[in-house]
Amino acid sequence: MRWRHVEIFDAICRGGSLTQAAQLLHISQPAASKMLATAEMQLGFRLFDRVRGRLIPTREASILAPYVARLHQNLDDVSRLARNLRSHHEGLWRIGSSPAFGLELLPVALSRCRQAHPAMSFELRTHHSGELLQALETRDLDMVMSFDQGESSGVQQQVLAHTELVHVTLPGVAPLRHWEEMAERAFIALDADDPVGAMVEDLLQSYVPDVAPFMRVQTHYVACGLVLQQVGEALVDLVTARAMQGRGLAIHRLPEPLPIPVSILTAHDDAGSGSRERVLDHIRQALLECRFPD
């Protein structure tokens, strides 16, 4: 089955007739009819039955249809990738990040970078890891900033710096002196699929295995927001905690330091450039300045 046969098959499925298919493909109706006849001859079975002036897919065509739809989706992905490769230039950087970095750290870093390099421009998207990795693979993003340390095919990873896990409460609430005290507190847990959430889950399992969190949330800043609403306490990354501190959040050190690596992910065949390193220098500096409050 050649690509032109795939095109006529898809066009008839969408249009319902040879006339509509011909219009979709910008060809004549006789040419569309000939393409369909050739496709059916090569396949060895009918693709459509004519019913009351419309072409209705046969059983065989209905089985083929989802595979043809996937072919078109793959072609759309290739077309989008080609557009992105054509439009990319040294001055535009499309950066994706987990929501934690989009609250304050990346806006600060990119603002400084823009001041230092006025010719640069940026697109910033915040999303969760799966969506960000997909956008990186199709070149919809140039780099992704994440806590995720899991390996992924087609992606190279560079640890940029480290932040740390911290305990956030309302002002006046005592910090944790020992891990076992978590059993006496109402903790809001992060989603276990989140890299930091998995770290917190390991802590709970190690020190208070019989205590289940009464609430789980997907993002760090939602956990902080619930703390501010007097719902409970949380263990989150320092970057998010510092961004939320101005709203009245108290930040405490943990009984022992727990570093969290911050990584930059890029496509496996991205050789890098001086321009990208200048962007990363500003992000790295912003991370280094995001220290535990005095």
Q: What's the confidence (pLDDT) of residue 145?
A: 93
Upper half-sphere CA count for residue 26 (Cβ side, 13 Å): 0
For the four alpha carbons of 269, 273, 278 and 279, in that order, the dihedral sign comes to negative
Look at the domain 163-261 and name its fold: D-Maltodextrin-Binding Protein; domain 2 (3.40.190)
Superfamily of domain 90-149+269-290: Periplasmic binding protein-like II (3.40.190.10)
The tokens describing 190, both together, are 């992060």
The tokens describing 263, both together, are 């990584």
Q: Residue count of the chain, please give it.
A: 294
Q: What's the confidence (pLDDT) of residue 81?
A: 66
> Residue 141, by phi and psi: left (phi above 0), alpha (psi -120 to 50) or beta?
beta
Domain ranges for the chain, please list them. 3-85, 90-149+269-290, 163-261
Which is higher by pLDDT, 234 or 153? 234
The model's confidence at residue 90, banded by pLDDT at 50, 70 and 90, is: very low
Non-local (6+) Cβ contacts of 174 within 8 A are: none
Asked whether this chain's domains 3-85 and 90-149+269-290 adopt the same fold, the reply is no
Average pLDDT, the chain: 87
The helix (run of H) or strand (run of E) holding residue 38 is helix 29-43
Lowest mean pLDDT, pick from 33-37, 111-115, 118-122, 282-286? 118-122
Upper half-sphere CA count for residue 275 (Cβ side, 13 Å): 17
**Residue 194: what are its φ and ψ, rounded to 5°?**
-75, 140
Scanning 88-219, the segments in alpha helix (DSSP H) are 99-102, 105-116, 129-137, 195-207
Is the domain 3-85 a CATH 1.10.10.10 member? yes
Do residues 213 and 189 touch, judged by C-beta distance below 8 A?
yes
Predicted confidence (pLDDT) at residue 268 exceeds the cutoff of 90: no
Q: What's the confidence (pLDDT) of residue 77?
A: 74
